[in-house]
Amino acid sequence: METHTAKILDGKALAQKIQTELAATITESQPKIGRVPGLAVLMVGDNPASAAYVKNKEKACAKVGIASFGKHFPTQTSQTELEAVIAQLNEDERVDGILVQLPLPNHLDAVGLLHTIAPDKDADGLHPVNLGRLVRGETGLRSCTPAGVMRLLQEYKISLAGKQAVVLGRSILVGKPMALMLLEADATVTIAHSRSQDLKTITQNADILIAAVGIPGLITADMVKPGAVVVDVGINRVTDSSGKNSLVGDVQFAATADVAEYITPVPGGIGPMTVAMLLQNTVSSYLQVHNL
């Protein structure tokens, strides 16, 4: 019997291609606009994972020519102080995108801060106005992770129209906007979650399976329809018996790759695409302001 291994959906390579395109767009637009695009990433406290993500985002900005206006605040910073900073950034003409790095210290209200961001500078695409535009199928800034998934599927010319898509997870960050974007692309969409009964029966029907629950290795090979497209949004830090740390997704990669037609790796799949879409959103806002 011949062994079959799924084709890899290489988010890392596509993210680099997008960054190259964005760099060219910025080089071309800068003389007309008179400045480069600007992104402000706000981080509160000293969560090491968040610090690594922020550094990663700022490095990506520098690479394509986006100016960083990020600020790092001590853990005890108040809601009022942060809202005042966001209000200033809303008015700052050099800033096209604003995002608050999550998670925040417990005393802060993340939703309240998000509502303070001007919708057209909402680089994460999570403001109610932008989610409303997504529901209505209007143009607007889109949530970075699901937008990255869509862009990756498009790059590999994976057709979605009429296909059965199953989204595992219902968060406002990924699950819900993901389902809406798949609907917009004419897929038939099922949303499943921790309370869904008989998950295996649901996932086995999926032509396109998107796992975004944050449970390491939840999806096993027998839960996947042969020839399906499997997109793993989970990024879980696990420690093995010898104390070694590694990143794994929600999908058992090796076994599932024997069944699926396409699969995303973790790391190197959706992670880099999320950052690429953040840059894309910032550049879109920048061009929008100047009607370019």
Euclidean distance between CA atoms 108 and 201, whole angstroms: 40
Kindly give the pairing relationship between strand 245-248 and strand 236-239.
antiparallel
Per the annotation, the verdict on 120 as an active-site residue is: no
- Catalytic, out of 10, 96, 101, 232: 101
Q: Which residues are annotated as a binding site?
A: 169-171, 235
**Given 10, 96, 122, 124, the catalytic residue:** 124
User: Do residues 39 and 69 lie in contact, with contact meaning Cβ atoms separated by under 8 Å?
Assistant: yes
- Whole-number Å distance between alpha carbons of 75 and 60: 25
Q: Which residues are annotated as a binding site for NADP(+)?
A: 169-171, 235
Q: Is 154 a catalytic residue?
A: no
* Dmax (CA) of the chain: 65
121 is an active site residue: no
From the candidates 10, 19, 57, 121, give the one annotated as an active-site residue: 57
User: Which string of b and e fits 98-133 if b means at least 16 CB within 10 Å?
Assistant: bbbbbebeeebeeeebbebbbbbbbbbbbbeebbeb
Q: If 0-12 CB within 10 Å is exposed, 13-18 middle and 19+ buried, where does residue 194 land?
A: exposed
Q: Kindly list the catalytic residues.
A: 57, 101, 124
